[in-house]
Amino acid sequence: MYTCDKSRLEGTVNEFSSFGSTPNKGVTRLCFSQEDIEVRNYFKNCCEELGLDVVWDDMGNMYATLAGKKDIPPIVIGSHLDSVEKGGRFDGVLGVLTGLEVVKTLIDHKEEQIAPIVVMNFTNEEGARFDPAMMSSGVLANKFEKEKMLQSTDKNGMTFKEALEASGFAGHKANRLKQASAYLELHIEQGPVLESEKLEIGVVEGVLGMVCYEITITGESNHAGTTPMQLRKDPFFLATDLISAMRRELSKIDDALVFTMGRVTVTPNIHTVIPDKVVFTLEARHQDPAKIREVEEVIFDLPKEENGCKVSFEKLWSRDTVEFNEAICQHIQHACEEYNYSSKRMYSGAGHDAQFMASYIPSAMIFVPSVNGKSHCEEELTSFEDCAKGANVLLRTVLALQKSISKQELKTL
Ligand SMILES: [Zn+2]
């Protein structure tokens, strides 16, 4: 049983990280920045040198195709080459480059493919320059309206449309991925679970559902020195009481529930003034929609009025849990067993292009461990040993899928 080439993969990851490299071994490759355009062209050249056919669609999503014996729906391996500001060398890019490594390995072994294999680079997965994240997989899956996305603007007032057109990667809508027999995405875990449990591979069964609310508490501003305590309508003191109480209630729901109060705004935020308004967010994620509803109950139970302050809330957004394709998860698990890699079934707490692709293509993901669970920062690291193991699992999964496709093809003869 052959494997991918670890040192070749290491070399490729290092080459790609030179585009937009930062002093501390990270990368900044915002969507359609000079660095992103350069890495796209480099990716295109690497693929064409291997004899792959490279096209891009009207959102700039790139498709590099290794022809199969039959012109049937392909097996797609994808992720993204863009990064956040001072991001890591592995987030996204590893999914594209392990895809490329799989293709190189298949070519080395003259392994004939029945279905074509497509290695994909999704445009603007991070949403770091143009909101929202996973923009282009969202357009492919009809989750986002293209016209709206084109108007998304960066902090300098440039629209996504202008950046797309200037990049040279505005292709034809006809090139969009319409059908595939499978979508596979290898990604760093971006969390500490695999490392802390000393596991090599995560078989990702889905993406956690989530909900995000904004809670507003309105009181009354006044002088910090002249207003007696009992005459104040201080929304910040009420906020701290409510936040503590909510934390206690949320902790009781389920051990697997994760929740975050990540944004707090106190107005006017002056040390000599009693605040008049506090706005904070509560975001929670869990696999089971019933647990998410329990989170919402905690919010619904907040007092409407207390200590002279008014409390209101608004749902900012939510996402249903996405379940990946079980047959593909089983192929991934078998691949781990074949190589004797330790693995576990898990859900992704973070969003990925795969969650949108799963709406119209049978999809699943492979996680590899993140050192110290760190991601979206320069310290992001996965050992090349683990990267290569992930690539091997991807390779074996592709071969297993090809096998089952050829069985089906025989049946239809
Ligand atoms: Zn990513």
Model pLDDT for residues 164-183, shown as the tens digit of each residue = 999 999 999 999 999 999 99
Which structure tokens are listed for 264?
A: 């707090």
| CA 158 to ligand 1 center in whole angstroms | 24
| Of 89, 96, 157, 148, residue with least CA distance to 129 | 157
Whether the pTM exceeds 0.85: the reply is yes
The per-residue pLDDT for 370 is 97
Q: What are phi and psi of 66, to 5 degrees?
A: -95, 120
Ligand 1 center–CA 345 separation, angstroms: 19
Residues contacting 272, CB < 8 A, separation 6+:
223, 224, 225
What CA–CA distance (Å, rounded) separates 204 from 207? 8
Instruction: Give residue 413's pLDDT band: very low, low, confident or very high (50, 70, 90).
Output: low
- What distance in angstroms lies between residue 57's CA and the mean position of ligand 1's atoms? 20
DSSP state, residue 350: S
Determine contact, residues 207/354, Cβ cutoff 8 Å.
yes
**Percentage, residues of the chain above pLDDT 70:** 100
Residues 6+ apart with CB under 8 A from 122: 61, 78, 79, 80, 134, 136, 137, 353
Share of the chain above pLDDT 90, in %: 97
pLDDT for 412 beyond 80:
no
Ligand 1 centre distance from Cα of residue 126 (Å): 7
At 77, which helix (H) or strand (E)?
strand 75-79
Burial 168-179 (b: 16+ CB within 10 A, else e): ebebeeeebbee
Cα distances (angstroms) measured from residue 347 to each of 194, 209, 273, 389: 12, 10, 45, 20
Whether pLDDT at 257 is above 80: yes
Between the CA of 313 and the centroid of ligand 1 the distance, in Å, is: 31
Distance CA(348)–CA(37), nearest Å, equals 29
Rounded to whole angstroms, the Cα distance separating 168 from 153 reads 18
Looking at residue 111, its pLDDT comes to 86
Rounded to 5 degrees, what angle do the CA atoms 376, 146, 136 make?
30
Asked if the model's pLDDT at residue 409 lies above 90, the reply is: no
Closest-CA residue to 188 (of 64, 98, 124): 98
Q: How far is CA 249 from CA 69, 296, 367, in A?
A: 58, 11, 32
Query: Residue range 284-312: average pLDDT?
Result: 97
Q: Select from 222, 205, 172 the least CA-distant residue to 56.
A: 172
pLDDT at 218 over 80: yes
Contact partners, residue 27, CB within 8 Å, separation at least 6:
17, 19, 20, 21, 35, 83, 87, 88, 89
Task: Give the distance (Å) from ligand 1 centre to CA of residue 91.
Answer: 5
For the chain, the average pLDDT equals 97
Q: Could you give the CA distance from residue 274 to residue 379 in angstroms, rounded to a whole number?
A: 40
Q: Report the separation in Å between the CA atom of 185 and the middle of ligand 1, taken as the mean of its atom positions.
A: 10
How many Å lie between the centroid of ligand 1 and the Cα of residue 353? 8
Residue 79 CA to ligand 1 center (angstroms) comes to 7
Listed residues: CB within 5 A of ion ligand 1: 91-92
- Burial zone of 229 (CB within 10 Å; 0-12 exposed, 13-18 middle, 19+ buried): exposed
- Ligand 1 centroid from CA 187, angstroms: 7
Q: What is the pLDDT of residues 109-168, one digit of tens each?
A: 998 899 999 999 999 999 999 999 999 999 999 999 999 999 999 999 999 999 999 999
Report the amino acid identity of residue 178. Answer: K
Distance 21 CA to ligand 1 centre (A): 17
pLDDT of 411: 80
